[in-house]
Chain A
Amino acid sequence: MFPELNNLLNTTPDRAEQGKLTLLCDAKTDGSFLVHHFLSFYLKANCKVCFVALIQSFSHYNIVGQKLGVNLTMARERGQLVFLEGLKSAVDIFFQAQEKPHPLQFLREANAGNLKPLFEFVREALKPVDSGEAGWTYPVLLVDDLSVLLSLGLGAVAVLDFIHYCRATVCWELKGNVVVLVHDSGDVEDEENDILLNGLSHQSHLILRAEGLATGFCRDVHGQLRILWRRPSQSTSQRDQSLTYQYKIQDRSVSFFAKGMSPAVL
């Protein structure tokens, strides 16, 4: 996790809020550093994490996680991390006989199905274990990312329904958190992606939006991060807050600074 990002979000692993949906989106840049941040953040917070990783392999996340101070292999072995490696298990559907529906069963279906098997996988992974051993604090679902599900043939409404059920189970019933990444297609007219992004934005409590700089690529400033807090839990009259920072990604950390205050130009 990146300590500077924790400061901006005013949170630490010990006192993070529960029952929240966090939406990560990126436009014209790669927002995966946010996924790595939240993965290591929640592992350090001693949460039970279910990670639906559809984009990269387990070893990729493991290598980055080690730079950030978490060991995914050990977390998986002791039961803290349930990892669905989409790239590997997608192949299993076609080449291995399945007794029960595979989480990615929709890949076999001709017409756009729904994500009920994936939801049941998540619910099974995060349901509280009664044995009383190694009490994890609260469950967390992490998805990287949802836009690829649209590319695989599902409709935006099917993905929204999946997240709805995840919210109902993980956020409301189990008082855990859900963090999802969606790419913003930006200039490209992608109606389904826009419906997905806007629909999730309305449901989210926190939106982190990583954008490339409007002027193009820069060596010292890799992008801009917009933070939007929505739906404050106490119904105060405080309106939604929004902050913008620029960032630079380094080997083991990400540094944040106010717009125009990059150390390179000061």
Chain B
Amino acid sequence: MLDSLLALGGLVLLRDSVEWEGRSLLKALVKKSALCGEQVHILGCEVSEEEFREGFDSDINNRLVYHDFFRDPLNWSKTGEALPGGPLGALRAMCNRTDLGPVTIALDSLSWLLLHLPCTTLCQTLHTVSHQDSCPGDGSPVGKVHVLGLLHEELHGPGPMGALSSLAQTEVTLGGIMGQASARILCRRPRQRPTDQTQWFSILPDFSLDLQEGPSIESQPHSDPHIPPVDPTAHLTFNLHLSKKEREARDNLTLPFQFSSEKQEALLRPRPSQATSHIFYEPDAYDDLDQEDPDDDLDI
């Protein structure tokens, strides 16, 4: 799947992280495009041209058109050498190309552009570049445009990442286990369900892609030998169980505060044996029996 990334047109996002860098995969895809005979434009903002071209042999290097925005991207040197319009101008210029063959545009990196340009402007420009279906002049079909954007995941919030994801036809997220790199490829084709695949790969020194099966998963270390559970209810000094008679007696017991129907009737029926209640009082030596009612003076 990784080697057919370039079959579809449109924007391909290569999402990398500090641990799993994506520039070698970008260079491998650039090499593939160049070998297919496509014209390749590189918008280089993060590394020098020499560093990017390192590892490519000369016939590939001859096909790469490098737009150098590494040396002086913000025009601080004011020598006039900087390309006019900056990276955005160069990207817009690619929207109005006149030749009709298929072209690959590699953005190294899209993160740099996203940090320096407003997200909306960048998204609009990317949309225009990657959806060039026909030449404005005569309407004849133009060759496919592939835009490869290297994006550093940790640098951007969910808003810009989501906006770029929605623009992209394919998203490749780099990761890996134990020194083996993997690419999770999320592919959105029009009128088809999006596909999600993981491909293990490695990049060879000459930047060709080597697709692999995956790391050999070592057998899990065996869990501790199964200890037979000890029954805690054995060998007790007290009795945890009830005999049958004891169980019956327990079931027949009514609880003191349970309001059963018998109790309800007992309360409702007046008890004949009990007419009035008597209070028997033995006054103490110290008791002061005052016959007056202390509440007499209350005027209620």
Contacts and interface: CB of A to CB of B under 8 A. Distances in A.
B154 A235 contact: no
A161 to B, nearest CB: 6
Contacts of B272: none
Interface string A118-138: 010000000000000000000
A202 B207 contact: no
A98 interface: no
Interface residues of B, number: 30
Contacts of A240: 19, 21
Most buried by B among A157, A160, A237: A237
Contacts, number: 62
Interface string A36-54: 0000000000000000000
Given A202-B18, A236-B205, A168 B152 contact: no
A157 B116 contact: yes
Interface stretch (A60-68, A70-78, A82-90, A193-201): A193-201
A165 interface: yes
Contacts of B54: 235
B181 A239 contact: yes
Contact of A235 (B71, B155, B157, B207): B207
B90 interface: no
B76 A231 contact: no
B18 A237 contact: no
Given A164-B73, A168-B72, A198-B155, A230 B21 contact: yes
Secondary structure of the A contact surface, majority rule: helix
Given A240-B19, A240-B21, A198 B116 contact: no
A76 to B, nearest CB: 27
A234 B179 CA distance: 18
A114 B55 CA distance: 35
A72 to B, nearest CB: 30
B154 A198 contact: yes
A157 B71 contact: no
A18 interface: no
B115 interface: yes
A168 B155 contact: no
Contacts of A237: 202-205
B75 to A, nearest CB: 10
Given A160-B115, A235-B54, A239-B179, A194 B76 contact: no
A203 interface: yes
Contacts of B66: none
A116 interface: yes
Interface string A160-178: 1100110010001000000
Interface string B103-141: 000000001000110000000000000000000000000
Contacts of B70: 164, 168, 172
Contacts of B50: 172
A201 B19 CA distance: 9
B182 to A, nearest CB: 12
Interface in A225-266: 230-231, 234-237, 239-240
Contact of B76 (A165, A195, A236): A165
B103 to A, nearest CB: 25
Given A172-B50, A202-B155, A230-B18, 8 more contacts: A114-B74, A157-B116, A168-B70, A191-B157, A194-B154, A198-B155, A199-B152, A237-B202
Interface of A: 114, 116, 119, 157, 160-161, 164-165, 168, 172, 191, 194-195, 198-199, 201-203, 207, 230-231, 234-237, 239-240
13 contacts: A114-B74, A160-B115, A161-B73, A164-B73, A165-B76, A168-B72, A172-B71, A195-B155, A199-B152, A202-B18, A202-B111, A234-B205, A235-B207
